[in-house]
Amino acid sequence: VLSVTLAPYGALDGEGGVIAVIHDITEQRRLDDARREFVANVSHELRTPLTNIRSYTETLLDAAGDIPIDTEKQFLGVISSESERMARIVTDLLTLSKLDYGRMELRMTRFPLGDMLKNVANAMKFTAEDSGHELTVDTPDDLPQIVGDRERIEQVVVNILSNAVKYTPAGGHVRLSARMAGANRVRITVEDDGVGIPAADVPRLFERFYRVDKARSREAGGTGLGLAIAKEIVEQHEGKIALASEYGKGTTVTITLPTDLIPNREEGPV
Ligand code: ADP
């Protein structure tokens, strides 16, 4: 897309002319479109639970006293879970906005990655087993310490592991592993043998609100922002995140992080 600006120069009655300046505004147009789409998505995502909350509340008010207590409880349950959903969306949006504006200060410390991964896996083990999944961890003992914001990196790993569990039917396997990838990079891998993702969707998964199966994501309590947040956090650590998948077979997410970023805090208790 090109835009042309005309600027006259010289004396009005004498020598002079017009300079045409041509700008390529393709990128600007693309950013405007992306911004508009994002605002439309946010509005839609918030309006759906809000509509539910409103109609259930109105029904309860209109029929006060006339509905069986069980039905009343069920309606209140919907109201409660829909407000939780709205709260999750807003929290995720605030996180993204802080990341966008560089206002999320990373608290960089040096910490043992292997311990962190094992802690995360232990914390998730019960949820995974409850839903009939087997979660295995494979990290070598000599995995190095890395420099990063421990809490944020934990948030990323928890998110990717929860996705693996969410999108894998009961009886499936989830595997968390980590290896050195070169002298000063480490690779964390989360593999599952779940539903997988059609090839056409894979390139768009890190976009905000992009979901392959909206109903399934909603049911599992997803906001569609998890991978977008993970990508921002990993990139702020000068790392990379990638997803490979085979539809119907399973998905593998790979996070590569440098081990030696410069810490801006006291060393962690290690
Ligand atoms: P959500 O909150 O919907 O899980 P995410 O941003 O975390 O949002 O993921 C975006 C979409 O990517 C999900 O809705 C799902 O369709 C797909 N996805 C993510 N991880 C997996 C996985 N391990 N297996 C299959 N699909 C996945």
The per-residue pLDDT for range 131-185, each reduced to its tens digit, is 999 999 999 998 999 999 999 999 999 999 999 999 999 999 999 999 999 889 9
CA of 224 to the centre of ligand 1 (A): 7
260 falls in which pLDDT band (50, 70, 90)? confident
pLDDT bucket at 266, cuts 50 / 70 / 90:
low
Residue 269 is predicted with a pLDDT of 43
Give the ipTM.
0.98
CA 15 – CA 189 distance, rounded (Å)? 69
pLDDT at 12: 65
Pick from 41, 89, 165, 167 the residue to mutate for probing ligand 1's pocket: most ligand atoms within 8 Å of its CB: 167
What are the start-end ranges of the E strands in the chain? 2-10, 16-24, 108-112, 134-138, 145-149, 173-180, 185-192, 240-246, 250-258
Q: What distance in Å separates the CA atoms of residue 225 and residue 214, rounded to the nearest whole number?
A: 12
For 79-90, the pLDDT digits (tens) are 999 999 999 999
| Per-residue pLDDT tens over the stretch 53-74 | 999 999 999 987 888 999 999 9
Tell me, in angstroms, the distance from the centre of ligand 1 to residue 195's CA.
10
pTM: predicted TM-score of the whole model, two decimal places: 0.85
